[in-house]
Structure 1
Amino acid sequence: MISIKDYAKEKGVSYEAIRQSVDRYKDELEGHVIKQGKTRYLDDVAAAILDSKRAGNPVVIVNEDKDERIAALEKENKALLQRVAALQDQLLQEKERVTLLQQEKIELLQPPEVPEEPKKWWQFWK
């Protein structure tokens, strides 16, 4: 006989996972799970039943190297920052160009200055 806690440790899973499995398959495990105080124990038949159920539903653990992922994200972040800086420069250049065009447009829309004609001799006394 083995406690649920020890069985979980032996299988490399959490106590809660085994406790849920025992509750899920309680009809099949009836008579094979013994409770003494607050501790529940599995006999050999219960352990075999749980082993067979767990073999049918294997837990797949994906182990991705976090350092490589972090390095890749940092590289991507750096590239994006450079792109943002380039786009900001482009935007500033376009803004300057628009300002120059606006000034040119204002100058073109202003009426031309007509030079004042010199006064005739008889207009000096007026």
Structure 2
Amino acid sequence: MKNKLYLPNHLAGIKRTFIRLRFHDIDHLMKARKELQPIVKRNIEQQIDGIIELREFDIPYHSRETLHFLNIIRYDVRVEQPELIILAFDFECTKMRLKFPTHASDQIKLRQKNQ
């Protein structure tokens, strides 16, 4: 069951049932798609059965199977962090209350910090 996200009232929680079909090779996939497309077209026009659309048929078979069987391998490699040398500048300035600072009337102080 999935929400119909394309409907204007998709937040109402209306759900649909989906049938997932998996195939061992491209030939079976193509044969099933060829058989289902006219049924889907007829159902859209006449609302006879519940099958009204095909999904994910535009994704190539090998790409979809790669996604389904993708294994993520993590390597636990620890790299020693280099000693950090930090050089930071801190700008401070004076300004009139509730005004933005301007170079004409306000002083600028520059502080350099080494660590």
Q: TM-score range by the shorter chain?
A: under 0.3
* Pair member with larger Rg: 1
- Structure 1 or 2: more strand by fraction: 2
- Structure 1 or 2: more helix by fraction: 1
Higher RCO (Cα < 8 Å, 6 or more apart): 1
